[in-house]
Amino acid sequence: MNAFNSYYIFLLIATFFFSCTHDTEPSVYNTNGEVYNSAYRPQIHFSSKYNWINDPNGLVYYDGEYHLFFQHNPFGSGWGYMSWGHAVSTDLIHWTQLNVALKPDTHGDIFSGSVVIDKNNTAGFGENAMIAIYTSAGSSQAQSIAFSTDRGRTFIKYRDNPVLKNPGKPDFRDPKVFWHELTQQWIMSLATGQTISFYRSPNLKEWTKLSEFGLGIGAHDGVWECPDLFPLTFEGKIKWVLLVSINPGAPNGGSGTQYFIGDFNGTTFTTDAISDPTWLDYGKDNYAGITWDNIPELDGRRIQIAWMNNWEYAGAIPTYSPGNNGSRSSMTLPRELSLGRNSQGHLFLRNKVVSEIERIASEWKTVTNENIENKKNFTLDLGNKKAYHIQLTTTLSKEQTLTLSLQNATGETSQAQINNVSERIYFYRNNSGNVSFSDLFTKMSFGPFSYNSDPVTLDLYIDQSSVEIIANDGALTLTNQVFPASIYDRISIQTNIGSVPVLVKLRTFDSIWK
């Protein structure tokens, strides 16, 4: 028996041993069913058919499919037995969940990481092999790889894992890898405590440290996690963006994602001058987001998705299906990231929902187009749909505020407020529905929104258990979970003083599970 065969027999034995320590995982097939119609189940967001999920992993496009791997416990609705779940989509909206892609082994649990397409066969696993680079979380954290030659349906773990051993750091994880064309090498961004370390490799197997970023820069109230370094073109020039998730230390408490804009020369990342941390999303529930690799050049977009939860209460939120294998947590809608310039002349990261959302949207209907003084109530014509999009456009003076309340028949209410006095947009969910599972869940969130005399547009994407607010085409976003007993099917609009011009439009969404 040669060494190659004996190694893979060992893998089969190890897989059997680890699998037998748990009950058989529930099937993810037959996605049309009651499990996708239950209370709180997102109708336009990806969630696992059963069990716990957290960070998105291994986002890659290949052969007509968007791959979404994710942190997953195949055996329960709480965090544990960390594996990589797997789903695919041809349009970023409708998802088919596949078998679990990677499970724990003798090196430990499978923590976060990334996937690349090895077009030039640098690793020797085959041209266009799909290669996962992930953290093996055993007695210490190290980086390992696995490869697939069947479009990600099965993976084989590399026999000489780990490929990047831990130099003695307690936090050494979440590799995000891409091919750097200019220097003809693989670049890895790795979370290393309170910094991001950059490594290079010719073949994904041998890694050399290049540099480290983060000391004295940005927010440091919690551990740095899930980095992502990528280029964006703005005004004819290439700028580099580094996403860094942090927990705790977000502007409204718990988990959040900061970002840095600067330059990368193949060795070091240098940020443009900043005075304060800049945040991707000011809601309570947008974390650990990374972007898809290998998007076709003809498309050209940088597309991101994030975990819609917060470690302050992640394990306590209601499940979407009953029983010990209840589905818990979901992903945000996919977002397109681009650069903009604010009124102070500084670059910022704009993020808005991808255009593919149009595929499940109805025609727009006008709810109201009038001047509103004090308060006015409206009933929404949702038909039997459980997700919808409200677009509100208004113009306010410096002294005015406008509050949009989402309500249902039992009086449960979530509120979005444009407040020009404080120059903020607020979201309140203290009376939004089921909030009993955590006192921290009831706290409001807000983001900075400088006043000017231009019209303000809020796009609100409302699902059975979330409200995503996109202000002024992605200049500011607030993502928050809510758990009302029934979908919000009425709204009220209230002003503090004077009359305000308000245009509200509505469209509904088909469920992605039907």
Catalytic residue numbers, as ranges = 55
Q: What DSSP line would sit under 319-337, residue for residue?
A: PSS-STT--B-EEPPPEEE
CA distance 59 to 371: 45
For residue 114 the two structure tokens come to 């990334």
DSSP-derived letter for residue 310 is -
- Is 360 strand, coil or helix? helix
Which residues, in sequence order, are CB contacts of 195 under 8 Å at separation 6+? 212, 213, 214, 215, 224
From the list 488, 466, 487, 494, the residue with the least C-alpha distance to 478 is 466
CB 301 within 8 A of CB 295: yes
CB 104 within 8 A of CB 83: yes
Residue written as tokens 């230390």?
A: 249
- How much of the chain is in helix, strand and coil states, percent to nearest 5? 5, 50, 45
CA distance 320 to 35: 8
CB 110 within 8 A of CB 173: no
CA distance 462 to 216: 38
DSSP-derived letter for residue 23 is P
Which residues, in sequence order, are CB contacts of 389 under 8 Å at separation 6+? 357, 361, 459, 460, 461, 462, 506, 507, 508, 509
CB 416 within 8 A of CB 404: yes
For residue 146 the two structure tokens come to 């696995």
CB 473 within 8 A of CB 350: yes
What ranges in 413-479 are assigned the alpha helix state H? none
Burial of residue 32 (CB within 10 Å: 0-12, 13-18, 19+) is: exposed
Backbone angles phi, psi at 53, to 5 degrees: -135, 155
From the list 77, 82, 60, the residue with the least C-alpha distance to 69 is 60
CA distance 132 to 86: 12
Name the pairing type of β-strands 208-213 and 223-234.
unpaired
